[in-house]
């Protein structure tokens, strides 16, 4: 069984896409061992509880400097992959080192555009529209110390329409996020991912 931990901060629609992908059999021999949130009121925790998944809250405000270390204590030796699904805290230290190339995040733009510190949620889509890009999308990438700087695992594109608002663009990109994140997990679970520097190679 390929064991996954999902880290969340908000509503958890990407978490739900993983839960659903396991339920439908798209993700075979994959289990979510933990859902960990840095916010006690994250609705994602309810989604996890409804699916019978073990949940844990490690409050960001209470563990400002030690959050990553606390997460590492829980996950050490217990999971094969850590998935950041709308997790807004910064991962660092031993957690990053010990799970090198085994932590992925999904970002709602085509990295390296509209990413990095302060770029999350609707801010990303607003920036894309203001810049006038014709396509945007989402990126699943490996997590490194610098925000949104890890090697790219996969990307999905969405056309940016002339009449788009940041809300309508977010909604359409979210549809692709819900496909991309389970797809990335599937590749890892089937041992089809290898990493060479900044290049992620997907085996056929």
**Residue 130 in marked binding region:** no
**Residue 191 in marked binding region:** no
**Residue 101 in marked binding region:** no
Rounded Cα distance between 88 and 92, Å, is: 13
Sort 142 into a burial class: Cβ within 10 Å, 0-12 / 13-18 / 19+. buried
Helices (H), the chain: 13-24, 44-50, 67-75, 94-98, 122-131, 166-189
Residue 63 a catalytic site member:
no
Q: Which residues partner with 193 through β-bridges?
A: 202
Catalytic-role residue among 107, 125, 141, 178: 107
Please name the helix (run of DSSP H) or strand (run of DSSP E) that holds residue 196, with its range, or none: strand 193-196
Please name the helix (run of DSSP H) or strand (run of DSSP E) that holds residue 159, with its range, or none: strand 152-159
**Residue 12 in marked binding region:** yes
Whether the CB-CB separation of 2 and 28 falls below 8 Å is answered with no
Q: Which residues are annotated as a binding site?
A: 12-14, 105
Catalytic sites, residue numbers: 107
Q: Which residues are annotated as a binding site for (6R)-10-formyltetrahydrofolate?
A: 105
């Amino acid at each position: 069984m390929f064991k996954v931990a999902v880290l969340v901060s908000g509503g958890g629609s990407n978490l739900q896409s993983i839960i659903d992908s396991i339920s439908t059999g798209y993700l075979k021999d994959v289990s979510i061992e933990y859902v960990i949130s840095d916010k006690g009121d994250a609705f994602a925790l309810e989604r996890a509880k409804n699916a019978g998944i073990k949940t844990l809250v490690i409050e960001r405000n209470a563990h400002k400097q030690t959050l990553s270390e606390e997460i590492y204590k829980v996950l050490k030796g217990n999971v094969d992959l850590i998935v950041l699904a709308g997790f807004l805290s910064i991962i660092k230290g031993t957690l990053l080192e010990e799970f090198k190339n085994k932590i992925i995040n999904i970002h709602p733009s085509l990295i390296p555009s509209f990413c990095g510190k302060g770029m999350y949620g609707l801010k990303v889509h607003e920036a894309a529209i203001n810049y006038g890009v014709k396509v945007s999308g989402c990126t699943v990438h490996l997590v490194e110390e610098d925000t949104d700087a890890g090697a790219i695992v996969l990307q999905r594109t969405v056309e940016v329409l002339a009449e788009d608002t940041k809300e309508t663009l977010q909604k359409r990109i979210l549809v692709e996020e819900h496909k991309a994140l389970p797809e990335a997990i599937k590749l890892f679970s089937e041992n089809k991912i290898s990493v060479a520097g900044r290049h992620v190679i997907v085996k056929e």
